Each structure stands twice: as C-alpha cells, then as structure tokens.
Amino acid sequence: MFKVFPLSSEPRNALIGMVAGVSLPTVLCLGHNVMGDGSPLTVGMLALSTTVALPLMSGALVFQWSRSRARLIAELERRRETEEKLSRAVYTDQLTGIANRFALERDFNAEPADGEKTCGALLLLDLDRFKFVNDTMGHDAGDQLLVMLANRLTSALSGVAGIYRLGGDEFVVVVGGTPSEGKIHDVIEVIEALFLEPFVLGAGKFWSCVSIGVARAADSDGSMSELLKQADLALYKAKEIPGNGHVFYTAEIAAEACRKLEIEHDLSRALAAGEFFLEYQPIVGVESRAVRSFEALIRWRHPLKGVIAPDVFIGAAEKTGMILPIGNWVMRTACLEASRWPAPTGVAVNVAGDQFKDRAFVPFVKQCLSEAGLAPGRLTIEVTESIFSVDADVICESLAELRSHGVRVALDDFGIGFSSINNLRRFPLDQLKVDRSFTRAMLANRRDAELVDIILQLGSTFQVSTTIEGIETEGQLEFARSRGVAEAQGFLISRPVSAADVMGILERGRVQSESLRA
C-alpha cells in the first residue's frame, strides 16, 4: 500500500515506522482500558506517547535503518562495478582491447561446461617485420598495426576460436574441442588470408606476413606453459619459411632445440678450454695458380662430439653474444699465425655483423696487426651482406677506417643477397667473392653462366677484384679464367689444412713456380 506514495525508500520506511509507532501505544492504551485502569494521568501519558514520542522514535529508527541499508546496497554495487572494471583491466589487453595472457591462463584452466576441451590446439602468431615498422614509421604506427591485426583476427575468427595477445607482436589463437588437423589448417588459412591485403597505417601502407607455430593439446602434458613452449619451438622453425609460414610441433623439433641448447651451453666454456682451432684454405691466382692468401676457417674440437663445423655453432654464438670473444680470438690467432708466413702471403678473416657493433673492434684489429707484426695489407676482412642490416653508418665508418689503415675488405657470398648493387655503391670494398652456388651452376646452363658474367662486370665497373669460391673441377677453373676472374678457391686447389700444413702448401707452390720458370 505504501509503495503508491511517490517517496524514496528512506521516507517511505520512516512513514511505515511512524505508523507502527502510533499503532503500538494505541494497542497498549486500549488494553489498559480493558484492564480497568483509566486515570486521566495515565491516559494522557499514553496519548502523548501515542501521538508524539513513539511515532517519532519509531520513524527515526526505521529511517536510519533504511538509510544504512541503502548505503550498504550502494556500496556493494560500487564494489561489484569496481571488481568488474578491475577484472576487465586484468584480463584485457589495454592496447588492442582483446583478451591478454592472464585471460588465456584463466580460460585454459576453466572447467568446460559442455565437457569439451577448452584448448584443443594453440596457434602462436608472430608478425613479420614488426621491428621494421617501429624503427622506420615510429611506435605509434606499430601500435596502430597491432590494433588493426587484432581487429582482423576478431572479425575473422569470432565464434570459431579464442584470440589473445601475449605482448609485443605475439598473438595466440586457441581452437577448442578436439579439432582435426584439417580444421586447424582451415583456421590457419583464414589467418594467412588476413595478410593478403596491406595494413593502411597513418604513415603509409605496410605489407607483412605471419609465422605460426602450432601445438596440439594431445601432444603436451596438459599444461599451458608446455603448450606455449611447444608452439614457440614450432614458431622458431616457421620463421625460417619465406612469406606466410606455419609449422606443427613435433618431437624432432624438440630434439633439435635440445641440441642447440647443448651447443649454446657448451660454447660458454669452449673458448676458455682451448677447444677452437683454425684451418686455412688457399686462395690462388687463376692464371698462375700461385697461392696469394689463405682464408681462416674456425673449427671446434668438442670433447664428446668431435670436430664441429662453424655452420653448426656460429648461429648459436651470435645468439648468445659469444661471437664477440670468439671472433676476437680468431682475429688475433689468424694474425699471429699469418705473421709466420712469407710475405706477401695474406690471410682472410670472416667478421660477423655483431662484431662491428663493438666500437672497440677496429682498434682491436689494429692492435692484433701490431702485436703480430703483420702488415695491414696482408689482412683481408671478409663480410657478408647480412652485416649491412646492423647499422649502415657504423659499418661504413668502420670499413672506411680499416681500409685507410691498409686492411683489405671483401664482400663474401656475393650474389645471393637482395641489395648487392646498392652495397657495392655505398660501402668501401676491395674484393668480391662470388658465391659457390654460382660456381656449381655456371657450367650447367647458359643463364647461370650469364649471371656470373654480370657479377664479374659489376666487379669491373666498381673497380674491385673478383674471387670465385667452390672450384672443384678443372672445367670450372678454366671457365673462371676465360671470364677474367682474378682468384679462385675450392677443393680442386686444396681442402682446408691445419696451420702446420700451410708452409708445406707454400713450399710446393714455390717449387712449382721455379720449375715453370726453368
């Protein structure tokens, strides 16, 4: 009945309290009259309490109770809203608005209501060239790219799979239930199709690709950390695939990762243990076949695995930072051993891009030459085109300083990079070394032979000498001679030899030269 009055809850409850306050003494008064005690004083006091005191007290008490109750309800509502906001903040990626890593853990560990697995397959996504966007277009463009990718994933996979951002440019797509490999491939195709169109950023259009590592819950121990670890190992392999690529986790991938981890661990003690040594492969003049220099090639004599080739451990050395002390050891050792050879026989030393990041590297090379007493002109620094992605200005400055000191600079594996001509124009070089892949192919067909001719013409145009690698037959050597190649290197001439055998090769070369002159 009282709800018909247009009052808020507190006044309405106060009114109810006042009515109750009036009713109670009235009942008492009536009861008193029935009992026979009806003196005027008693009746007056009861009437006073009935009409004033009790109604006011009752109304006030009920009003206060109602007010406290309303405050409590409001406080509980505020706390509920705060908890919801905190929950959204904790489980939502603040940049993209999609679920984050905490949400992934929560959803992964949640009990499924329908009995289906929460996670049947986990796809770990990595955006290619994301660092390039941040470095060239700015971090705002990078953030915009991430938001656009999140929107594309949400639009394409909503209701099909869960979408999460782990951080940086890594996203996770979770396929629930027990998906077949075909279904997983369907999801992958949907994701890869999102990269067929460019991302239109404020700074311009950006084309990118995606690498995907796939791990299935059935292949793991059931924990999210294990599943993410498997997907990460698969992603590492997927990054080796040009363009869009995906790889499913297998036991073989895990075994390979273990081998690499062992290599990385053993590298940390190999240098101090004296397990590295150098071999030298001669480089000869094509016309005279006289030895002009030797390329220093590092080897690792592992106490358990035997001799390990550099292509097995150099990548691990670069990843762990061991390339700096190892590279310095190679430089010093090669200079010391070359100083024992008769002049003008030179030595070529391969240098990694990370070594140029060290501002002390160029002074260190000069120090090695001085300590060994080796003329700078007898040392050749060999670099590959990959170093030019480190810091072009630093590379150019370092190479120029080395050349001004008298050290020669050779561009190794020439022809397989994407910017060879630009590198010839920009960086100070003395020599081109034609990659062995061209050597194998140049006699097979006319097209590859013409490619070698073009490379040699480039060398002539930029006034740098040319060396061809991988010579294994007389036919290849004759072809190189007919095209005007200055120097050659390969198994036909000699396999890499120990430092102790270098003098034997030089002596045989001297004897042959004297017999030809005679």
pLDDT tens string 200-227 = 888 888 898 999 999 998 877 778 889 9
Kindly report the backbone phi and psi dihedral angles of residue 177, in degrees, each rounded to the nearest multiple of 5, phi listed first: 75, -145
- Alpha carbons 209 and 216: distance in angstroms, whole number: 23
Average model confidence (pLDDT) across the chain = 84
Report d(CA 213, CA 247) in Å as an integer: 5
Is residue 154 predicted with pLDDT exceeding 70? yes
Cα pseudo-dihedral 68, 73, 76, 80, rounded to 10: -160
Share of the chain above pLDDT 90, in %: 48
Neighbours of 363 (CB within 10 A): 11
Neighbours of 377 (CB within 10 A): 14
Q: What DSSP assignment string belongs to 183-219?
A: HHHHHHHHHHHTTSS-EEETTEEE---EEEEEEEGGG
285 DSSP 8-state letter: E
Window from 22-31, 116-125, 172-181, 230-239 with minimum mean pLDDT = 22-31
Residue 374 has pLDDT above 80, yes or no: yes
Q: What is the mean pLDDT of residues 442-447?
A: 82
Instruction: Convert the pLDDT of each residue in 97-112 to its tens digit.
Output: 999 999 998 888 876 6
Mean pLDDT of 258-279: 92
Average the pLDDT over 257-273 and give the result. Answer: 90
pLDDT value, residue 164 = 95
**Res 88 pLDDT > 70:** no
Q: How far apart are CA 100 and CA 120, in angstroms?
A: 19
Question: How far is residue 250's CA from residue 230's CA, in Å, rounded to a whole number?
Answer: 8
- pLDDT at residue 5 in the model: 47
Best-predicted range by mean pLDDT among 1-5, 79-83, 334-338?
Answer: 334-338
With cut-offs at 50, 70 and 90, classify the pLDDT of residue 82.
low
What pLDDT does residue 50 have? 53
Residue 497 has pLDDT above 50, yes or no: yes
pLDDT at 369 over 80: yes
| Total Cβ atoms within 10 A of residue 58 | 21
In this structure, which long-range contacts are made by residues 86-90, counting pairs with CB atoms below 8 Å and at least 24 apart in sequence? none
Q: What is the pLDDT of residue 387?
A: 80
Strands (E), 128-181: 162-167, 170-175
pLDDT score recorded for residue 80: 73
pLDDT average, residue stretch 274-301: 95
More confident residue, 508 or 250: 250
Q: What is the pLDDT of residues 19-69, one digit of tens each?
A: 555 555 555 555 555 455 555 555 555 555 555 555 666 666 656 776 777
**Scanning the structure block, which residue is given the tokens 């590592």?**
213
Q: Give mean pLDDT, residues 330-339.
A: 97
Where is pLDDT greater, at 17 or 393?
Answer: 393
Q: Cα separation of 222 and 368, whole Å? A: 55
- The gap from C-alpha 217 to its chain's centroid, in whole angstroms, comes to 24
- What token pair was written down for 322? 């061991």
Cα–Cα separations (whole angstroms), residue 446 to 402, 403, 459, 475, 491 = 39, 37, 20, 15, 24
